[in-house]
Structure 1
């Protein structure tokens, strides 16, 4: 015989299984999804913007410090990896809240053709990583006519 407490808990488990918030456990949708091949590894959201002279890659990394971040290039693949480790405590009168976030993240991107891999710069500010890829001036750009 189930007690009322167990019945309610069973109902909640069926409606919202444990871990249903796992992909967004750190800071909501900013952290994107969990890499299914590597459970516990986060995949940050990325924007890639093709401009006239360069390609700008913007990566959302809330709470990440420069010392915990590594950006590298190898065989035309840009690799962004690092870790998050923070603890926030708020205590006011009779209110107390403590949140802890620890984990690793990883994202790899193909560098677009026509980019000079030797001319890459990166800057982290206010939780946004900006990676600037300078276009190679020697590469000819042309538009292909559709048939």
Structure 2
């Protein structure tokens, strides 16, 4: 039976490297190659009233012209692109924690809406949409002639 020398500090160092790699892959502020696939998804809030659906999306740092909003009777699609600003510092080091690039979010609606009567407002990084519900045809009463 051979004796194996145990080096606890080497194992601790290995564990620390693995933990750092795990946290880097989960952190939205890193620019590692493994994390480039993580997309920005704007948070949304939806509220239903008897007449309409109120939808709010948080898209700070963007202008209204950079957003593309498409509405069908069943869903809302919001897409856009955040442009990065290039900065040069004296020592050649630039660090950014903002996420740049394309994003798209499709939100299914709980009831059909009238997509030609949607009202939108964009103020202080909040996109607010008022989506009026589809007015169902009133029930028609038809007399059936039995003979």
Alignment partner, residue 31 of structure 1: none
Q: Which residue of 2 aligns with 1:16?
A: 20
CA contact (8 A) 1:57 1:130 kept: yes
- Unmatched tracts of structure 1, length 5 or more: 27-37, 141-147
Match for residue 102 of structure 2 among 98, 101, 104: 104
Contact 1:80–1:108, Cα closer than 8 Å, also in 2: yes
After the TM superposition, which residues 1-147 of structure 1 pair with which residues of structure 2 at under 5 Å, given as runs? Answer: 12-17=16-21, 18-22=24-28, 25=29, 39-74=37-72, 76-87=74-85, 99=96, 101-138=99-136
Query: Per-residue displacement from partner, 1:30-87 (whole Å, max 9, x unpaired)?
Result: xxxxxxxx92432211111012321100111111211211000246221100011244
Moved over 3 A (4+): 86-89, 137-140
C-alpha distance in 2 between matches for 1:139 and 1:16: 60
Aligned residue-pair number: 116
Q: Which has the higher helix share?
A: 2
1:60 to 1:119, Cα distance in 2 relative to 1, 3 A: same
User: Does 1 or 2 have the higher relative contact order (CA < 8 Å, sep 6+)?
Assistant: 2
Structure having the higher strand fraction is: 1
Distance 1:56 1:88 in 2: 37
TM-score of the aligned structures, taking structure 2 as reference length: 0.62
The normalised TM-score by structure 1 is 0.62
Aligned CA RMSD, in angstroms, stands at 3.2
